[in-house]
Amino acid sequence: MSGHSEYTHVASRRVAVSCNAAFAFMSDPALLGQWSLGCFQTQQVGDSNVFKGLSLFGTGGTHVRIEPLPDLSMIRYWVGAPDALVPRISAFITPFSDQDCIVAMLAVLTPGMDGERWASLCRTHETELDLIKSQLETNFRLS
Helix 115-138 to helix 19-27 angle (10° resolution) is 130
pLDDT, tens digit, 9 for 90 and up, residues 21-40:
999 999 999 999 899 998 98
Of 17-21, 91-95, 117-121, which gets the smallest average pLDDT? 117-121
The three-class DSSP label of residue 139 is coil
**What is the C-alpha separation between 53 and 35, in angstroms, rounded?**
11
Radius of gyration of the chain (CA): 14
Provide the mean pLDDT of the chain.
91
Task: Work out the pLDDT band at 136, boundaries 50, 70, 90.
Answer: very high
pLDDT level of residue 1 (50, 70, 90 thresholds): low
Q: Which of 139, 137, 135 is nearest to 34 (CA)?
A: 135
pTM score of the predicted model: 0.91
Tens digit of pLDDT for each residue in 58-108?
777 889 999 999 999 999 999 988 889 999 999 999 999 989 999 999 999
Inform me whether the pLDDT recorded for 117 exceeds 60: yes
Residue 19 has a pLDDT of 96
Percentage of the chain exceeding pLDDT 90: 63
Which tens digit of pLDDT belongs to each residue from 99-110? 999 999 999 988
Q: Does residue 3 surpass a pLDDT of 70?
A: no
Residue 126 has pLDDT above 60, yes or no: yes
CB 88 within 8 A of CB 77: yes
What is the helix (H) or strand (E) element at residue 69, kind and residue range? strand 61-69
